[in-house]
Amino acid sequence: MLHDSAVNYFDSTDNIAINTQDKTSTMTQPIISVDSKKIPFQEHHNTLLECIESANVEVHYHCRDGYCGACRITLESGEICYPNGEPLAYVGEGEILPCCCIPKSNLTLSID
Ligand code: FES
């Protein structure tokens, strides 16, 4: 497990570790599965939405900051977190707001 004050994410079930500051540690990118695409969440992606957009997957959005709920999608499997705190927009059971979350593990997403 990673231990320092850098931004670390670790998921023991998927054995994924990311350290955004220490380039010498284990760097395994979470893989985002959506439709038939497998998209690596890369270090320069600030949010899950940026990652999805990088693969030209169309996701509705408006505020891009967790207020409007326009980007709401279904998380089929995996874990995410909201690094800036829980968003204000309503999020139903099994739904996430990709504009303000990042993956903690590989994810499978469903976008209507
Ligand atoms: S775009 Fe507004 S909550 Fe995501």
Tell which one of 88, 100, 102, 111 to mutate to probe ligand 1, the residue whose CB is within 8 A of the most ligand atoms: 100
| pLDDT, position 2 | 41
Residues near 22 by Cβ (< 8 Å), separated by ≥ 6? 2, 4, 6
| pLDDT, position 16 | 46
Nearest atom, ligand 1, residue 49 CA: 4
Segment 77-108, tens digit of pLDDT: 999 999 999 999 999 999 999 999 999 999 99
| Locus of tokens 């038939």 | 36
Residue 47 φ/ψ, nearest 5 degrees: -145, 165
How do the pLDDT tens digits run along the chain, 112 residues long? 344 444 444 444 444 444 444 444 455 899 999 999 999 999 999 999 999 999 999 999 999 999 999 999 999 999 999 999 999 999 999 999 999 999 999 999 999 8
Pocket of ligand 1 (CB under 6 A): 61-64, 66-71, 89, 97, 99
* CA of residue 1 relative to chain centroid, distance: 20
One-letter amino acid identity for 85? Answer: G
Nearest atom, ligand 1, residue 72 CA: 4
| Locus of tokens 């990673």 | 2
> Domain 29-110 class?
alpha beta
